[in-house]
Structure 1
Amino acid sequence: MKLAYFVKPHLGGTYTVFRQLRKGLRAHGIEVEWMGLSHDAREATAWTDTSENGVLLHTESCSSEKQQAEAMLAALHERGFDGVFVNVLADRVQMNLARYLPAHMLRIMIVHNITPGTYAAARALRDHVHATVGVSQRCRRDLVVRHGFPVSRTFAIPNALEVEEIADRRRRREPAEPLGVLYLGRVEDASKGVFWLPDIMAAVTEPVTLTVAGDGPDLEALKKRLEPHAAITTFLGAVSPDQVPETLASHDVLLMPSRFEGFGLTLLEAMAAGCVPVVSDIAGVTDTIAENDVSGIRFPIGDWRAAARSIDELGRNPERLATMSVAARHRVADKFGLKRMAGSYARLIEDMAHQRPAIALPLPMDEWATPLGLRAGLRTYLPAPVKNWLRVARERWYRNPSRDAA
């Protein structure tokens, strides 16, 4: 069995999932290669493993999305793929292609986030895929309960990693050292809540340093907002996957103030490295990964004062920090190891190979059209402060036990 994973190399969780999935499924005799579309002739990647792990299709000469889709379909046939993994809110052409693939080709959709836009896109493809995987319990529950996905074909398979790759790199903090706090990820406020970092740093009373590792659209604005804390702040820029374990192991605390996450692979990587997470409490997501006050500390979304108090508590109590560091590593090894994730995907693929469920018939390529869920919706035009307020309000509502009675 050979499957294409629709993505192209980038510094992000979707490609990291590919790298882990490829490694894990190989042990089950299932080959996975990435396949991406390039719309820019100047595009090149600095990744060293891409040529043997996948292919980038250059489609600059294609005058329409339909032609791009036809080029991708031809490549799927030429390279002998038996099926595809479709990542929601990746490339729009690749997502839409799932509705046009030949009937014999297996289609597994992976939903990586919990936003209304993500769910709208997934719903547009729902009837054209054989199985849908949510990367967290929250994803699966939302898809089934609120978006009509069939229970029998919708699964929760948490992301995972090979813990051994991150083992034995932990740098022990000296008693006189300030607590090393790390933000690692895309520097973007809408989802990652990075503009809360200055507020958190202003409220922290214990000696700390802050490292911001990552790049993104809000990097320059964040640098300006953190100018009052310049003496304790370092910006590393983008960090390659190979540098992530060492970066995590050289810090004490991962600060993750996200407004929303589908899973939080960075959280998992931090815990595997023994870097204690102080993370937003996102229902069905972070609360399924970090056990509060055991393998991490969770705080209400947007409550920067609570985040600061948690950092201070860890700074004052090195014994507790050390205990939680060990517990975090054990948590990942016990619940989120690569073998567990790969086994779940392998069983799903094998089940689909033996008895493939009936789905909607493939659409004719001559009738190529983009469904509503894959187009920009009205939410795209809302001002950022309004969207951010709605995101926090939605998560607080989700935390309300009476929500399903409404």
Structure 2
Amino acid sequence: MVAMSEHPQKPVRVAFGSVPKDSGTFTFYRNIRPALAARGISLYCVTVGKPQAELWEDAYVDDGCVQLAATSLNMKRQAQVFTKWCTDNDIDCVMAINSEGILSAIPHLPTHMRVLSRCANAFDHGYRITMSCRERLARIVALTPRLRDDLVADYGADPAKVALIPNGLDAARFEAAAQTRRGTGTQLELGFLGRLEHNQKGVMYLPAIADALSARGIPFRLRIVGKGVDRARLEEAMASHQAEGRVEFMGALTPDEIPQFLGETDVYLFTSHFEGCPNALLEAMMAGCVPVCGLIDGITDFLIETGRTGFIEKLGDAEGFAGTIAALHKDRAKLAELSQATAAEARARYTDEVAADAYAGVIRDLMSEPAPDWTPRPWRAFKPDPNFPGYWRHRIPAGLKAILRKFR
């Protein structure tokens, strides 16, 4: 841990657009905030507007969480309140992330405030909001090579401004799990952790993998953690395996319960169609699970070295997944060796300390540069950020909105 005294520079105050709840964005904030504080950078989780306020969960709140304009649906009002809060609190740098109110405020921020964006997911909307008000962006953080390359090739990002920084985790949370020797039971313990929906997470590939393992006579138990719109459909497809005790649905777990679950898991299944830098996969690796993943170019093949820290199969190839798992069942010594290598690699590449060093370097660099040649847009010229599907609603006069609500 780096001591504050090692940083004689002026402390830097960063506003980070997020909501305290169970989400990847807030998990990033929660994980990296203490490490950044040790490096002289104060990170604040800023929630703006009524739609975000309704997602606020008190159980996740810490002393860096701030809620602004909590009853407002007016985007200009949200942007103005946020801008005033930044001015009143001497904010140096803004990371809007996916906050519509903060993104709408960026053109109006004072010139001395730097703007840093962070691309966390490989889909069009995520790329577009990453590049919102691109003329104000001092730096862009991409979590994986896929995100970096897409931003440059398809969304006009300046390669010189893009920094590649994977997510980081608190290694201490998973220390006990990583010390557990894998593959000691008669049956293999398989695990899945994530939102139970197929569009992104690919959960409907799991029944075919279970079928293929069963057909090969591989003794296994697959425990599925999470909740989501496709749970009922997934349970129906897994009915026979549930009846035989091969599949168990565990529901959602709290963050404190996840390390124990992963410590009891030999092989972690990852079936997503698209991701950014998936925390669940990094947690599994940190805990010493051996991941078997579908290929997502520039993401899973960046995070995992196949054959050394896990395996990568063609997404949707149930026989490929089953064949790899069957080989691990047969060679338990190899499974244990891979578990140790995976945990060690995660501690070398994906800790919050490594990520904090990288973010602190980027933030200190951009703060050392001259303020951008930028004139803040006047509030009379306010426009909501155009990269949100419902941005048009802010242009409807209040009277017409009232009439439309009556008809609705």
SS of equivalent to 1:33: strand
Query: Hey, what's the Cα distance between the residues in 2 that align with 1:298 and 1:260?
Result: 14
Tell me what 1:5 maps to. 16
Report the counterpart of residue 80 of structure 2 in structure 1.
Answer: 70
Kindly indicate whether the alpha-carbon contact (under 8 Å) linking 1:181 and 1:209 is maintained by their aligned counterparts in 2: yes
Is the partner of 1:56 in helix, strand or coil? strand
Q: Measure, in 2, the Cα distance between the counterparts of 1:280 and 1:356.
A: 44
Q: Secondary structure at the match of 1:366?
A: helix
CA contact (8 A) 1:130 1:357 kept: no
Partner of 1:55: 66
Give the root-mean-square deviation of aligned CA atoms: 2.2
> How far 1:209 moved relative to its partner?
0.9
Matches within 5 A, 1:269-288: 269-288=283-302
Give the CA deviation at 1:277: 0.5
Between 125-134 and 267-276, report the one with greater CA deviation.
125-134
- Higher Cα radius of gyration: 2
Displacement of 1:63: 4.3
Q: Quote the Cα distance in structure 1 between the aligned partners of 2:353 and 2:200.
A: 30
2:342 maps to 328
Compare 268-277 and 19-28 and name the one that shifted more. 19-28
Could you tell me which amino acid in structure 1 is paired with residue 86 of structure 2? L
**Residues 1:200 and 1:38: Cα distance change in structure 2 (over 3 Å):** farther
1:126 maps to: 134
Report the equivalent of 1:79.
89
- Name the TM-score, length of structure 1 as normaliser: 0.85
Where 2:131 maps in the other structure, the secondary structure is helix
Q: Describe the shift of the 1:73–1:283 C-alpha distance in structure 2 as closer, same or farther (beyond 3 A).
A: same
- CA distance in structure 2 between the partners assigned to 1:17 and 1:43 by the alignment: 17
Name 2:315's counterpart in structure 1.
301
- TM-score, normalized by length of structure 2? 0.85
1:181 match = 190
Residue 360 of structure 1 deviates from its aligned partner by 5.3
- CA deviations on 1:63-118 (whole Å, 9 max, x unpaired) are 4121122222233333332222221xx23223332233222212110000111222
Instruction: Work out whether residues 128 and 359 of structure 1, in 8 Å CA contact, stay in contact via their aligned partners in 2.
Output: no
Paired residue for 2:34?
A: 23
The one of 226, 241, 244 equivalent to 1:214 is: 226
How far is the alpha carbon of 1:272 from its aligned partner?
Answer: 0.9
SS in 2 for 1:98: helix
Match of 1:196 among 205, 229, 233: 205
Matching of residues 137-176 of structure 1 within 5 Å: 137-169=145-177, 170-173=179-182, 175-176=184-185
Contact (CA 8 Å) 1:178, 1:207: kept in 2 or not? yes
Verify the 8 A CA contact 1:127 1:359 in the aligned structure 2: no
Q: Which amino acid is 2:227 matched to?
A: D
Q: Structure 2 stretches of 5 or more lacking a match?
A: 1-11, 392-408
Alpha-carbon shift at residue 58 of structure 1 (Å): 5.0
Could you tell me which residue of structure 1 aligns to residue 358 of structure 2?
344
Cα deviation 1:333-381 (Å, max 9, x = unaligned): 222232221111111111111104636543333333234433369xxxx
Question: How many residues in Structure 1 have an aligned counterpart in Structure 2?
Answer: 373
Counterparts in 2 of 1:15 and 1:161: CA distance versus 1, 3 Å = same
**Aligned residue in 2 for 1:354:** 368
The alignment partner of 1:167 has SS state of: helix
Instruction: Note if contact 1:130-1:356 (Cα within 8 Å) is conserved in structure 2.
Output: no
Contact 2:111 2:371 in 1 (8 A): no
Question: CA separation in 1, counterparts of 2:264 and 2:373?
Answer: 49
Q: Secondary structure of 1:47's partner?
A: helix
CA 1:250–1:38: 2 relative to 1, 3 Å: farther
